[in-house]
Amino acid sequence: MSAASAPSAAGSNGSPAFAYPATRRGSDVDEYFGTKVADPYRWLEAPDAPETAAWVSAQNAVTRGYLQHSPDREALVKRLTEAYNFERFSCPWRKGDDWVFQFRNSGLQNQSVLYKQRGLGAEPEVLLDPNGLAADGTAALGSYGMTESGSLLAYGVARSGSDWNTISVRRVSDGADLDDKIEWVKFSGVSWTHDEKGFFYSRYPAPKEFQATAEQQADPDFKRGTETSSVRDHHVCYHRVGTPQSEDIVVHRVPVSTWNIGAEVTDDGRFVWITLSESCDTKNQVVLLPLNEDKSLSPALLERKVPLVSEFVAEHGYITNEGNTFFVRTNRDAGRYKLIAMDVARGAGAEGTGKDGAADPDTWRTVIPEHEKDVLQSVSAVAGDKLVAVHSHDVAEKLALYNQAGNLLQDNIPLPDVGSISGLTARKTDSEFFYSFTGFLHPGIIQRVQLGGGAAEGGAALSQTVFREIKVAGFDPSGFETTQVFVTVADGTRVPMFVVARRGLPRDGQAPCWLYGYGGFNISLPPSFSVARMLWLEHFGGVFALANIRGGGEMGESWYKAGVKLSKKNCFTDFCSAAEYLIEHKYTSAPKLCINGGSNGGLLVAACVNARPELFGAVVGAVGVLDMLKFDTWTIGHAWTSDYGSARDSEEMFQYLRSYSPVHNVRTDARYPAVLLTTSDHDDRVVPLHSYKFISELQSVAGQHPEQKAPLLIRVEEKAGHGAGLPLAKRIQEQADTLAFMSIALKAKSNFQHAAPAAQAAAGAKL
């Protein structure tokens, strides 16, 4: 594809001018409530078309050509490789009497490896190494589940970043795979019946693009994840080990094609807790399936399913049960969540239900009440009747211990610092649990908490020791500090924001700043560690800021709901206010500020740069949702209407979405900062056509502004998806490109020792 007919631009560091690839503008038009809307880049919705492939190749070439002018990129790759070369561990978990399992990464492995051992003190052995499934590391472990005894592992493999999983079954004792193969699994858990004869999983019908031959479907490189068609008709199946998938029992189907469904076997193996959701909203329905006395499933049992919660009024998450008493985390009449005990043996009608077959909320007992300010993020059962609760207080997390009667046994179990609990493993048969702690300046500490005799007798005696501590070679966190501030926006809302910087940072507005945000889907962004952010602090004297804007789950349901549908612009207002705070308090200045977000966060930064291009020096948007008029027509986009609404809902919703949709609001009257969009060719969550359309409009419209000097670029990764399972080698290259782009755009000087100019040029030519 020719690159000669598009507007040229000069790099902001004075690098030679370059031309954007020519992008054909079509004449396609859509109509919404009598309003016609042009869709000139509809041809880019065909990801495998030769014209699209040529366009992607040409765009990548322009981006590589720009980044080769960074004197830091080669040093960044080297330092990232060094920094990532540290041992990493997950929390261990137990199965059976003595099996212990844990994920480990020796440092530079593309994918973490699952290990097994007989007891905590035994020598670990490899159970599953995904690195051997694809030479380039693009095969990753997806959904997985183990039998209660630890004898069998059902594991899904996702290839090239796609959300599709193929499930196999492995014998733990000798690591041998059985003949079972389960296809077309997506957005699924894996949960075994306690007779260990089979497991529940969720799947879709094979998409129309993949009604292929058996030979094609058996090929690991056969393309999955490049399709754009909407996935529908999710259903829960039961697979009996040793039988073909065609004989799997369909346990429950969604009554509406766009709903999602999942299934979980209860702690005692007596029931299956089936949840149905119509979108990503914090509401679900619950169906309870009793199993046989021997904890097996037979087809006749399907007639005994009981609808416990038959309306979408709140979220109901299973925690544990004692007989017919179920402990459930819910936001029913509790926006910051509470734990209730649901006695399904009470009431009339079907066993364990109220008169209409649904659980009666009037009979529910509150175990952990809703806190006045803190959000109940999770609850885990341990040591018989004990419950470990994770609360979030102003975004920082804390631990507490309760019993099932609701008595608080110990509040504020000591944590290493202000941060977050990124993993917690516990089971009712153990008198201990493990949790992983992380923070902006803490790579990770795995703590082992043992409950002593006092706790077993109803008290709260416990001891806590460091099980593993993760350290990054060459990084000294003592030179940096984390501060939390609160930004007051125009409507009076106080938005929390963390600021991480070197101690004693001069407040002169000269520091380059990386501002990150998300603000959607009730997802919280607590403090967490990142190697790339560490390098930004360490080598560029940079500031990192994380704004916990509305739309997230940090402050409860009202905080989430204040950033959805016709209130979505609150997210953008909050984020721009966070940027203004950093500038006003002289952490940075507008030319030195880069905003960054991914997925829904990609929408966030794109909408903000369209609204306030003068406020930023650079924008990095990853795998963003950017065409807000059509997002719900591709893959799983229909589930996001709980946050965004749909342009087909009403004229009011159409006009609102159109007013901020990044693809439809590129400015003709303003100069844009440097923009880098990143996406992947196998992203079947947020399909890459969103980014293709937005960068095309930016280059075509904003690129023609007479004062537009900053680059408008896109980077498309091959054999990668929405982010999960990305091989470390690819992650290092992507992060090096992102940091190099930021450093050029913000004129951020590094402390790297560079090669001679001639050597730099030779190295750049190889990029």
Catalytic residues: 599, 683, 722
How many Å from the N-terminal Cα to the C-terminal Cα in the chain? 20
**Quick one: how far is CA 491 from the chain centroid?**
30
Backbone angles phi, psi at 557, to 5 degrees: -65, -40
User: Is 360 in contact with 354 (CB distance < 8 Å)?
Assistant: yes
CB atoms within 10 A of CB 598: 22
Residue that the structure tokens 């500020």 belong to: 593
Amino acid identity, position 553:
G
Q: Which residue from 637, 556, 611 is spatially nearest to 228, judged by alpha carbons? A: 637
User: Is 220 in contact with 159 (CB distance < 8 Å)?
Assistant: yes
Q: Which residue from 682, 591, 693, 699 is spatially nearest to 62, judged by alpha carbons? A: 699
- Token pair belonging to 424: 């917690």
Q: Which residue from 640, 634, 731, 646 is spatially nearest to 680, judged by alpha carbons? A: 731
What is residue 680's three-state secondary structure?
strand
User: Is 677 in contact with 694 (CB distance < 8 Å)?
Assistant: yes
User: Is 677 in contact with 713 (CB distance < 8 Å)?
Assistant: yes
386-393 and 420-425 beta bridge pairing = unpaired
Alpha-carbon torsion, ordered 353, 378, 603, 583, to 10 deg:
140
Length of the chain: 767
Q: Distance between CA 529 and CA 764 in Å, rounded? A: 30
Q: Distance between CA 29 and CA 26 in Å, rounded? A: 9
What is residue 718's three-state secondary structure?
coil
Q: Distance between CA 362 and CA 117 in Å, rounded? A: 47
Q: Which residue from 618, 482, 477, 597 is spatially nearest to 538, judged by alpha carbons? A: 477
Burial 396-415 (b: 16+ CB within 10 A, else e): bbbbbbbbbeeeebbeebeb
CA angle 119, 124, 127 (to 5 degrees): 110
Ramachandran bin of 334, using left for φ above 0, alpha for ψ from -120 to 50, beta for the remaining angles:
beta
Give how far Cα 329 sits from Cα of 326, 333, 395, Å. Answer: 10, 12, 19
Beta-bridge mates of residue 495: 487
CB atoms within 10 A of CB 495: 25
User: Is 423 in contact with 90 (CB distance < 8 Å)?
Assistant: yes
Q: Which residue from 496, 570, 563 is spatially nearest to 523, judged by alpha carbons? A: 563
Beta-bridge mates of residue 386: 382, 403
Spatial neighbors of 494 by CB under 8 A, at least 6 apart, are 486, 487, 488
Helix (H) or strand (E) holding 156: strand 152-159
651-660 and 600-611 helices cross at what angle (nearest 10)? 70
- Token pair belonging to 738: 């992102």
Q: Distance between CA 743 and CA 756 in Å, rounded? A: 19
Cβ burial of 5 (10 Å; 0-12, 13-18, 19+) is exposed
513-516 and 593-598 beta bridge pairing = parallel
Beta-bridge mates of residue 276: 261, 285
